Structure 1
Amino acid sequence: MAPSNPTAAPTQGFALDRLWHRGLDRYPSTGSRYWYLAVAVFVTIILYYELYVGGGVAPLVLEHFKMSFAYYVNILVFANLVGAFGSLAAGLADRWGRANLVTYGLLITGVLALITPLAPNKFVFGLFAVLGGVVEGMCLVATPALVRDFSPQIGRASAMGFWTLGPVVGSLIVSFVANRTLPHFDNSWSSQFYIVGVVGLVAFAIALFGLRELKPGLRDQVMVSAADRELVESRADTAEQQVNLANPWRQMLHLDILAPALGVSILLLIYYTAVGFFTVYLTSNFGFTTSKANGINSWYWGINAISLVVVGVLSDRLRVRKPFMVVGTVLAVVMTFIFMTRTTHADTSSTTLIVIIALLSLGLATAYAPWMAAFTETIERRNPALTATGLAIWGWILRIVVCVAFFILPHVVTAMNKLVEAPAVLAQVKAAGANPPPALLAEVAKIKTAAADGPHQWQTWWWICIVAEVLFLGLMLPLIGRWSPKAAKADAEEHEREVARLTSSS
């Protein structure tokens, strides 16, 4: 028997179908394209907020679980290791699409955040962190691939600057929320996970209904400017039939992909140190509270966020990438050196720290947004249909580099193991009164020694970061792109004439 409303069932089926089949048949108009880019950037921010929330309350987590600094670092090491292979798995997004990986990844991370405070011990806490690392590794590939799909090369640096707001603003939100809410929740680390879990599920709902992607025939082409839209659409069917997806890894494993991917991964050593350890570093070396340390961190992330967008726009306006990478890296090297020398003094003021890390943040942003644009453009030169595969190689290299670095760090900064135990030991001394036991006094002596040694051990680590920043300058050279704005403008004008000729003849 037919239903009384013959259109009801098909409409409902179509609506449900859109929750999984997200491909767009036509390249979206400017307004719709900006909407999809905005959703992609928004969910990236939330994903990184979820990933980094543990770093914002690391001292409290260590104290709660009686966790050593080495154990905490090993959690990060293993999370990055499995995240590396999550990045490789996300290379399948070239065949299966990107939007569903991101959308349902948000569902998983939101649930993980809400159940993390229920962890009965440090092993289960670490397990939840590792599971989150797998999802982050996949989204590291899928989200920039989405942004690439919706951004022509002229405008790519701006779009990638906004995408990079994901990890940066995610970190900023961690610091801001922790700074403002921890005092109201009696410094309970679990409060931050409950907050981010709810936010993550709201983001999942937005992505479920608002995130789309281009169908293969559209995304498998190079789009230099928005003026190419008509030509790209007319070639969509042919492009989908002729695309070369055979041996995708072999197509991407070339010097111009591998060297820049390694270069930016080591450049970001200091960035990932900031994400994982700045709060612990500031509380242990300068005696700041967790809330105060997050307030200082907020300046780092805030300046970084603004700089990424501004530099992206400037890079697109001048149509060059490499000059910005050079200027940004030089500034980062100088400020890392100053940071290294000033933070060996425990009396360095919070204002001085803010100025130093703000300029360091500016340098990294100046190098990174143009690098993201140049790297995706280099992948397109190889094969635009394998964008996710190229990004997967970068994601894998990045996670492996971070994994190795975090494994080495506790062996370089050995004093941190004692310094993170200091609050608990000092509390025991206070409780013992006038006559604390000799074993407790011996622990206090070890903490004092560690406090004296710690800043100098950190200096070694900052030197490693400086060397990595310098090496980036050589490793980024194989990327595609002009050094001269004049030559880049001439290339763009020649492309416009060619598109006009092809459009008029079709």
Structure 2
Amino acid sequence: MANFSGLLSRELTVYPTGGRRVWLLFIAILANFIASYEAQIAPVLPLLLNDLNISLAQYGMVSACSVLASAVSALLFAPLADRYGRVKFLVPSLFLTCVCVYAMVLVETLSHLLVLRIILAFVDGIAVGTTAGLVRDFSPRLGRALAFGFWTFGPVGSNFFANAMAGWTLPIFHVWQSQFVIGGTIALLSSIVILFNIADLSPKLRSRIIHSTEEMEAQNEKSPSPTDSTENTPKMREILRYPHIWTLCIGITLFLLTYMTIASFGTKLLVDAFHYDAHQAASIAKYFWLFNLFTLLLAGWISDRLQLRKIVSLTGAVLFAIYMIFFISLFGTEVPEGQMMIYTSLLGGLIGIAYGPWCALFSENAEDVKASLQSSAWGLFGFASRVVSLTVYFAAPIVVAAHSWETWLWIAVGVGVIVYIPFLFTGRGPWFRRKEEKITFTPAP
């Protein structure tokens, strides 16, 4: 027990540079990927619902309850991670969710599914703030958008991987339980690797704003072993005082309504609207996530080179709105599988262009308020995104039952774009000029 506790208490008093920093950033990204992968259920949703005789509306209620548990968890543990360190909360949560994933094979009733998904979601909610905080810690601003593009590989890459795995193995094993055995095993092995490699920055290092690795290398030479101070303990209410932090959170989570729909009901949507088989739908859906990941990295790289977050994100949002007019028009028509792979790829890619630079924008805006409150800011985002996703689980099945998937997507796109674009303007940072802005905040009373 003492050795395990020691693994969770590793703190770096000198900022890592070179390959060491890149490795720690990779471990943080891997942790987010595993946390997201452990929660995957969409690729086997059609089979699971049929086998357990659960309606889409009933599943929507299960998902809503689990999302609410995850939202509470994200908001509860994020400030604790800022105060006591990210690793102490992240690593145990990974192992606990592994247990929940394995337990999914025992689910036989709606009540079993409800209880297990709530437990898994509550534990899994810890990962948002902790992994985002670690990514910020190990990524200077000059590479922040690209780093968060890789961080988004967690939910995006895990969706792609889970759909690809289901498309490959379901024709072999034929039962939905196989995916949870495979997922639990991959997650367990990865969690062991994370346990022995992950580390925290010390509180004093976490309180610094880092613009480049060269800057920190110079700081390390001057002060190789900074002494941490217990003064000025970070408190989440400090980040909640600023309206633009709230508007950035609300805007992006509403913009991601379409993304959340694909993540939750992607295979079900393709089966219902285009009459593909379950394994075909899973195989098609993976291309949404694959191209989404590609554009997240590309847009992030461009945003880092220009040091412009808002204009790149706005471009993606506008292109997404235009493209969705065409994509929704396909509903009710017969689309060959190969063409649908292209269409879903483009949909995922345009969302990635908007989302990747936003991650860097939000991280930097929160950092300018108080650098040591990064997990708290991302915990707020985790809470907001999960509350908004409740709309998907509650409203989507109702709208689909009364009308169609086409109607629901029109609602999701309309609300998302109309709110996100004006809210993006509230973020602090340049639009068209490469310029370091010194932003001064007046504390709220």
Q: What's the TM-score bracket when you normalise by the shorter of the two chains?
A: over 0.9
TM-aligned CA deviation for residue 220 of structure 1: 1.0
TM-aligned CA deviation for residue 483 of structure 1: 1.0
Q: CA–CA distance in 1 between the matches of 2:219 and 2:202?
A: 12
Structural mapping, 1:8-407, within 5 Å: 16-52=4-40, 54-91=41-78, 92-185=80-173, 187-230=174-217, 233=220, 234=223, 237=226, 240-243=229-232, 245=234, 247-345=235-333, 347-407=334-394
1:426 corresponds in structure 2 to none
TM-aligned CA deviation for residue 78 of structure 1: 0.8
* 1:299–1:358 contact (8 Å) kept in structure 2: yes
Matched, 1:478 2:420: no
* 2:269–2:405 contact (8 Å) kept in structure 1: no
Pick one of 392, 413, 434 that aligns with 1:466. 413
Structural mapping, 1:390-469, within 5 Å: 390-414=377-401, 457-467=404-414, 468-469=416-417
Instruction: For 1:49, give the aligned amino acid.
Output: Y
TM-aligned CA deviation for residue 352 of structure 1: 2.9
Q: CA–CA distance in 2 between the matches of 1:229 and 1:344?
A: 56
Higher relative contact order (CA 8 A, sep 6+): 2
Instruction: For 1:81, give the aligned amino acid.
Output: L
Distance 1:165-1:292 versus aligned 2 partners, 3 A rule: same
* 2:39–2:124 contact (8 Å) kept in structure 1: yes
* 1:223–1:232 contact (8 Å) kept in structure 2: no
Identity of aligned pairs, percent?
Answer: 30
Q: CA–CA distance in 1 between the matches of 2:144 and 2:348?
A: 21
TM-aligned CA deviation for residue 232 of structure 1: 5.1
Secondary structure of the corresponding residue to residue 259 of structure 1: helix
Distance 1:63-1:462 versus aligned 2 partners, 3 A rule: same
Q: CA–CA distance in 2 between the matches of 1:266 and 1:309?
A: 22
Q: CA–CA distance in 2 between the matches of 1:208 and 1:149?
A: 18
TM-aligned CA deviation for residue 135 of structure 1: 2.2
Q: CA–CA distance in 1 between the matches of 2:65 and 2:111?
A: 12
Stretches of structure 1 that go unaligned for 5 or more consecutive residues are 1-11, 416-455, 496-506
Secondary structure of the corresponding residue to residue 125 of structure 2: helix
* 2:12–2:200 contact (8 Å) kept in structure 1: yes
TM-aligned CA deviation for residue 391 of structure 1: 1.3
Q: CA–CA distance in 1 between the matches of 2:219 and 2:397?
A: 51
TM-aligned CA deviation for residue 237 of structure 1: 4.7
Secondary structure of the corresponding residue to residue 413 of structure 1: helix
Matched residue count: 435
* 2:94–2:124 contact (8 Å) kept in structure 1: no
TM-aligned CA deviation for residue 328 of structure 1: 0.5
* 1:327–1:363 contact (8 Å) kept in structure 2: no
Q: CA–CA distance in 1 between the matches of 2:427 and 2:205?
A: 24
Q: CA–CA distance in 1 between the matches of 2:108 and 2:287?
A: 34
Secondary structure of the corresponding residue to residue 84 of structure 1: helix
* 2:13–2:225 contact (8 Å) kept in structure 1: no
Q: CA–CA distance in 1 between the matches of 2:295 and 2:47?
A: 31
Q: CA–CA distance in 1 between the matches of 2:289 and 2:236?
A: 36
- Cα RMSD (Å): 2.0
Which TM-score applies when normalising by structure 2?
A: 0.93
* 2:236–2:376 contact (8 Å) kept in structure 1: yes
Q: CA–CA distance in 2 between the matches of 1:270 and 1:75?
A: 20
Per-residue displacement from partner, 1:351-405 (whole Å, max 9, x unpaired)? 3322222111111111111100010100011111111111111111111111133
Q: CA–CA distance in 2 between the matches of 1:235 and 1:399?
A: 41
* 2:321–2:413 contact (8 Å) kept in structure 1: yes
* 1:220–1:243 contact (8 Å) kept in structure 2: no
Q: CA–CA distance in 1 between the matches of 2:418 and 2:279?
A: 33
Instruction: For 2:127, give the aligned amino acid.
Output: C
* 1:296–1:354 contact (8 Å) kept in structure 2: yes
Instruction: For 1:310, give the aligned amino acid.
Output: L
Distance 1:268-1:232 versus aligned 2 partners, 3 A rule: farther
* 2:17–2:213 contact (8 Å) kept in structure 1: no
Instruction: For 1:364, give the aligned amino acid.
Output: I
Instruction: For 2:288, give the aligned amino acid.
Output: Y
2:442 corresponds in structure 1 to none
Instruction: For 2:409, give the aligned amino acid.
Output: W
Secondary structure of the corresponding residue to residue 414 of structure 1: helix
Per-residue displacement from partner, 1:93-141 (whole Å, max 9, x unpaired)? 1111111322111101111111111123221122111212112221111
